[in-house]
Structure 1
Amino acid sequence: MAGKVDAETPPSGEMESKSSETERGGGGLFGALQSWGGSIFKSINSFMGYEDVVNPEGGQEDAQEEAKKSRFKPEEREHYWTMMSKYVGADVTSLVTLPVVIVEPMTTLQKMAEIMEYSELLNQANMCEDPQLRLVYAVTWAVSVYFAYQRAWKPFNPILGETYEMEGHNGTRFIAEQVSHHPPMGAAHAENEHFIYDITSKLKTKFLGNSLDVYPVGRTRVVLKRTGDVLDLVPPPTKVHNLIFGRTWIDSYGDMVLTNLTTGDKVVLYFQPCGWFGVGRYEVDGYVYDANETPKYIVSGKWNSSMGYVKCDADGEPLEGQELEKIWEVAPAPENDKYSYTYFAHKINNFDSSPKHMLPSDSRVRPDRLALEKGDSSTAAAEKHRLEERQRWEKAQREQRGEPWAPRWFRPTGEIACDGDLPIYEFTDSYNEHHADQANGTSDNRTKDFCPWQFPGEYVV
């Protein structure tokens, strides 16, 4: 799950002026020390990228050879390493514009929809009578998306007001909207006859040189309609390895916690970090506990293949004669796909998965995404730059006119989560009302120009 790092970055001149202010030294001893420190830093940078290359299949003994296996050309690797080295230790969520060469033809809003691929597991959770077994199915659903999240490509950052809609999968309708730009935040809602899903999504990052730590600080809630159970999901962090040098790969590690806020039951799963030679990679295991913190089920498997469960005793040992029962297996994926897409990823990029009266702000009609999907990276880069420039223009217009921006399909609740760092957004009925108003129409607007803008038709280059 790569971080959002390129939406509405400052113009290049502004970025350079900010960095020059931080790098400019004072006079006397302080200035001399700063100059000396800068030289040492540059010297370290000249080989640090190679030292930080991690090959999950072969340790680090072949780091220099592995470093050459990058999607960047040699001169590009050095350029981006020089550019990015000043951000070591920083949250780069909104600081840096990255090149199209590392981008996939999908937006972050579309990627948010990928968690719906195996939503039938939530349907099964809703129909389950055993309250702890409900959590087995629900947490397996939460794990199932990680096979798709291992793609080592960065999605396009959404423009403020951009949307993504999906229909026709397991009877579920999904809508996402970019509700904030600084900081970048998206909100999404999905619903069918069995469950309601809501998320306010935000990421924090820490750039470490040739790798990036990604910390999800959003809030995810699922309501099971039959029982009324409210489930709260806290996912593990993710690490993106070999950003510039080497073959980029992604690993998730640490605890995933799913809590039934209604009953007090919970699941704690541990995602094993990848060890040398790939030891432990993909492995997930843990327990479902009742409200008294007594283990009831063992949940175990690999996020890239299958998950299962077995009933256990109060000591966490499998009951005698019981074997692990598989309840999820990853679907076959296309072979040699350029972006390592699943079939579902291709489906959500397809206009057939959209409503007939799709919003003109939908990610699928972004000109940069469409160009990249056709293999035209030059046009994609130019269109991406044009969209970002217009986004800056709109921000300046709002400030000049005193007209604040507000999401169209979500609204802030006033609730602040994640230690005061996350304003929570809720879905409004205006989206369903909009589609109800359109239901009797015969037109199909899925070919309209991309338009998430607050001031459409006013922009002059």
Structure 2
Amino acid sequence: MFDPDNVGMGTVKTLTLRPRASSVAQEARVPLPEVFTPAEETLPTPKPETADRPILTPRRSTQATLTARETLSPAAMDDGESCDTDEEDEFFDAIEANAIPNLEVPAPLKSPSHDATDLPPGYDCKPYEGYRHLRHELPLSADDRPSVSLWSVLKNSIGKDLTKISFPVSFNEPTSMLQRMAEDMEFSECLDVAAKDRDALRRIAYVAAFGMSNYSSTIGRIAKPFNPMLSETFEYVSFDKEYRYVSEQVSHHPPISACWAESPLWHYFGEVDAKNKFTGKSFEIRPTGVAHAELLLPEEWAPDYPKSEKFKGKVVEHYSWKKVTTCVSGFILAQPSIDHYGDMVVTNHRTGDQCILTFKPRGWRGRDAFEIAGKVVDASGRLVYEIAGRWNSQLIARLATDGSGHIHPDMSVSGPGSPSASSDYLLLWRNSEKPPRSPFNLTPFAITLNDCPKDTLKPYVCPTDCRLRPDQRAFEMGKWDLANDLKVAQEEKQRAIRRAREEGKLPPHAPRWFRAETDGDTGERVWVPSKVEGKLEYWLERERCWREGGREKAKWKEVDEIFIEEPESLSS
């Protein structure tokens, strides 16, 4: 995910940084085939997607190995030099024209469910009823933030750590970084599909598609989210996609956010931690945190895998990856653009298989914009699937063929009736339709994240939940001056708490809902949620407070008051 929290983008006095809504919508628009069928029902114990067909086994090739496609190397992607083959160009053209023959589209990707039904068995729905009816529009009809000179703020910050700079509120959008982090979950159906597929080499492709899907939400998003306060939290419950999500700001300097999401089919967890660099012309953000996914598979598929602690008859398949570099440039010339580039390497720690997605840098004239090329290789380095697409539209995989591994035009763009047509193409991910005009270019999913119905959610979320931040709420309501004053007061309160800790007047900070461990597969730090008798402590406390009548009657245990008092003008 683009981490604008470490960037600080916004509007300038004479140079607008707000892309025209029409151009943003044009970039984000995705043509959808008319032959989509209703989605299958998601079940806790899924029927494998491969149950009614044989697993696709690629033909072996001595040349189609890990190093077969030199075009995947970042060094081979010089703007002044064409490194793409004609086969790749035709494959991309076919993808964008929806002309892939016999494309296999898993049901959850055809028409993702948006019906708020019930959470899976074993979950209590009543404490989370407030998530059934969330808004579809922001209180604001337009982004009319006051103009502020960006250069006046940044001209003395070249080479500095931007996370330590306090920006005017006019550079913000009405979300917290914790909510931006939660946007990773928008396309959780990719993990649903992965957990239902018996073929491990297809599973890793769907997991990789999930890992890259969050970049689609960055189109036109040049404003920065609010910096989370230390110990700030965010929770989200999806009835239609059957998952729960919680995150916490576990460190302030450096800023580190930890998250955990769970469903009957998978777990997703990790941290957002990045190094940033401002050169005077662009911001570059290099994420250092690790993202993880655990698929909960039927035990008979992999009896040697570690067993699930919660679900009987399920085993755990562990994946990990790191996000790619993000660059924001062109803001001084009033032509701001966001680009993502580098290799995202997804590893299956049980099989040794890997999926490598290469985000190609945008050329001088927009060449290679949004483009992704990738591959799935097994533990021996044998090329199994080739992948192509764009992070703003869709991602498709094709079973590798004999030879060098190139995608041949006669097999990729031929019609359904052609002798060369096959079922070796898989839709891994497709972007959702975006509204033509949305303030701050927020996606429909992002618009729901800061909604906090006063009767069904506000009394029950944790006191540290970012939806309760007065400065962010005032900003969302368009009260710009009040939002800036509240932001200054909020930051001063955090500094006062830090000074009290340094002077020994308060105990040292410790994360409330997460603890740091070393992951056994990656050897790197991982933040795991605190548990009580095998259950997440956060959700146990959340449900206890709901049963006892909300925050006015039940105090959350060992939770500090980190926010300033909300003005009456916001609570009315």
**Shorter-chain TM-score category?**
0.7 to 0.9
> In 2, distance between residues paired with 1:93 and 1:316?
44
Structure showing greater relative contact order (alpha-carbon pairs closer than 8 Å, 6 or more residues apart): 2
Corresponding position of 1:251: 339
CA distance in 1, matches of 2:321, 2:460: 32
**Pick aligned residue for 1:343 from 401, 423, 444:** 444
Q: CA deviation at 1:163?
A: 0.4
Give the aligned partner of residue 308 of structure 1. 396
Partner in structure 1 of residue 548 of structure 2: 441
Inter-CA distance 217–89: structure 2 relative to 1 (3 Å threshold): same
Residues in 1 aligned to 2:457 and 2:394: alpha-carbon distance in whole angstroms: 29
Aligned residues: 392
Note closer, same or farther for the CA distance 1:287–1:264 as it changes in structure 2 (3 Å cut): same
Instruction: Give the Cα separation in 2 of the matches to 1:72 and 1:277.
Output: 31
Paired residue type of 2:292? R
Aligned to 2:547, the other structure's residue is in SS state coil
| 1:334 aligned partner | 435
Query: Match for 1:366 among 469, 483, 489?
Result: 469
Look up the SS of the partner of 1:339 in the other structure. Answer: helix
Is 237-246 or 381-390 further displaced after alignment? 237-246
Q: Tell me whether 1:232 sits opposite 2:232 in the alignment.
A: no
1:267-306 to 2 correspondence within 5 Å?
267-306=355-394
Identity level (%): 31
The answer for the alignment partner of 2:349 in structure 1 is: 261
Could you tell me which of 385, 390, 393 is aligned with 2:493?
A: 390
Find the residue that maps to 1:253 and give its secondary structure. strand
SS at match of 1:89: coil
Look up the match of 2:234.
164
Distance 1:388 1:351 in 2: 23
Superposition CA RMSD, Å: 3.3
* Structure 2 counterpart of 1:39: none
Give 3-state SS (helix, strand or coil) of 2:381's partner.
coil
Counterparts of 1:390 and 1:267, CA distance in 2: 45
Q: 1:296 to 1:219 in 2, by over 3 A?
A: same
5+ residue gaps in structure 1?
8-48, 51-55, 58-70
How many angstroms apart in 1 are the aligned matches of 2:551 and 2:190? 33
Distance 2:443 2:562 in 1: 37
Q: How far apart, in 1, do the equivalents of 2:388 and 2:466 lie?
A: 36
Within a 5 Å distance, the mapping from 1:89-238 to structure 2 comes to: 89-94=159-164, 96-150=165-219, 151-169=221-239, 170-226=241-297, 227-238=315-326
Which letter maps to 2:271? Answer: T
Are 2:479 and 1:376 aligned? Answer: yes
Distance 1:284 1:72 in 2: 37
Mapped contact 2:493–2:564 kept (Cα < 8 A): no
Which amino acid in 2 is paired with 1:428? Answer: S
Could you say what secondary structure the match of 2:483 adopts? helix
Residues 250 and 258 of structure 2 are in contact (CA less than 8 Å); yes or no, is this contact kept in structure 1? yes
How far apart are residue 436 of structure 1 and its match?
4.0
Q: Would the alpha carbon gap of residues 377 and 113 (structure 1) be closer, same or farther in structure 2, given more than 3 Å must change?
A: same
1:183-216 deviation line (CA, Å, top 9, x unaligned)? 1111000000011111122111000113100000
Does structure 1 retain, via aligned residues, the 8 Å contact 2:322–2:345? yes
Checking the alignment, whether the CA contact within 8 Å between 2:159 and 2:277 is kept in structure 1 is yes
Q: List runs of 5+ in structure 2 lacking aligned partners.
A: 9-13, 16-22, 25-144, 298-314, 412-419, 532-536, 566-572
Cα displacement string for residues 159-186 of structure 1 (whole angstroms, at most 9, x for unaligned residues): 0010000002511100000000111111
* Greater Cα offset, 143-152 or 384-393: 143-152
Q: Which secondary structure does the structure 1 equivalent of 2:246 belong to? A: strand
Q: Deviations over 1:387-438 (max 9, x none)?
A: 000000000111222510111101122679999xx75322112213213423
Distance (Å, rounded) in 2 between the aligned partners of 1:390 and 1:426: 28
Taking structure 1 as the reference length, the TM-score comes to 0.77
After superposition, the C-alpha distances for 1:221-246 in whole angstroms (9 at most, x for unaligned) are 11101151100012210001134541
Where 1:350 maps in the other structure, the secondary structure is coil
Q: Is the contact between residue 163 and residue 175 of structure 1 (CA under 8 Å) also seen in structure 2?
A: yes
Do the aligned partners of 1:178 and 1:187 also contact (CA within 8 Å) in 2?
A: yes
Structure richer in helix, relative to its length: 1
Whole-angstrom CA distance in 2 between matches of 1:354 and 1:139 = 33
